Amino acid sequence: MITHLKPTDFKVKSLTTIATPHRGSAVADFVLKQIGDDRLAQLYYALDRLKVETGAFAQLTRDYMTNTFNPATPDIEDVRYFSYGAAMQPSFWSVFRLSHRLLEQIEGYNDGLVSVASSKWGAYKGTLEGVSHLDLINWSNRLKWLAGEITGNRQRFNAIAFYLDIADMLAKEGL
């Protein structure tokens, strides 16, 4: 977006991405292959009826990111780029159990949807350990926090605190 932003009467100073598939995801490759081109339109129609956004799904493949998006969207010279990755080992009940296994075999260490390798862009700030892709958007934290309280296994990752830390880091960088 920064590369193609119009109008240009303001200045973007930085971009920070968190577990973003800069080089695509083998999970997207696998899902699209399993669905097949003939059924993809039906899936998009069903998801649209459920009000689930699907516009970018096919654009998450490794081929699209490597050969189409990244070449057409170069970094801007005076913008600072930061990135974070995430990785975890899914529990038996995790929604990411199968996708994590597939991604680990093909791309390595991952958060269930995006590999650490694909997450790296610009100045890599580090890998969030024991954090799933849903944890990053604070989706599953409420249940995990409750389960952790009950079982005595308190969660270590706090998405809100993490994003506040990023804002603090950017402020310290003068951005």
pTM reported for the whole predicted model: 0.82
Res 156: pLDDT: 76
Q: Which residues pair with 126 in a beta bridge?
A: 84
Confidence of residue 143 (pLDDT cuts 50, 70, 90): low
Residue type, 108: G
Mean pLDDT confidence for 95-110: 93
User: What domains lie within the chain, and their CATH numbers?
Assistant: 14-172 (3.40.50.1820)
d(CA 125, CA 170): 12
pLDDT at 158: 86
Rounded Cα distance between 145 and 133, Å, is 16
Cβ atoms of 63 and 30 within 8 Å: the answer is: no
Q: What are the C-alpha distances in Å from 149 to residues 89, 130, 139, 156, 160?
A: 20, 17, 17, 12, 18
Q: What average pLDDT does the segment 149-159 reach? A: 74
